[in-house]
Chains A and B, each alone.
Chain A
Amino acid sequence: GIQVEQSPPDLILQEGANSTLRCNFSDSVNNLQWFHQNPWGQLINLFYIPSGTKQNGRLSATTVATERYSLLYISSSQTTDSGVYFCAVVGAGRRALTFGSGTRLQVQP
Chain B
Amino acid sequence: KAGVTQTPRYLIKTRGQQVTLSCSPISGHRSVSWYQQTPGQGLQFLFEYFSETQRNKGNFPGRFSGRQFSNSRSEMNVSTLELGDSALYLCASSLESLTGASEAFFGQGTRLTVV
> Taking beta carbons and an 8 Å cutoff, which residues of A are in contact with B?
30-31, 33, 35, 40-43, 45, 48, 50, 86, 88, 90, 93-99, 101-102
Contact = CB atoms under 8 A, between A and B. Distances in A.
Interface of B: 31, 33, 35, 37, 42-45, 48, 55-56, 58, 88, 90, 92, 99-109, 111
A43 B48 contact: no
A41 B104 contact: no
Contacts of B43: 86, 88, 97, 99
Nearest to B44: A99
Contacts of B106: 35, 42-43, 45
Contact of A31 (B45, B55, B103, B107): B103
A109 to B, nearest CB: 27
A30 B45 contact: no
Given A97-B45, A102-B42, A41 B101 contact: no
A97 B35 CA distance: 9
Nearest to A49: B103
Contact of B56 (A43, A50, A95): A95
Nearest to A48: B103
Given A31-B102, A42-B106, A45-B103, A98 B45 contact: yes
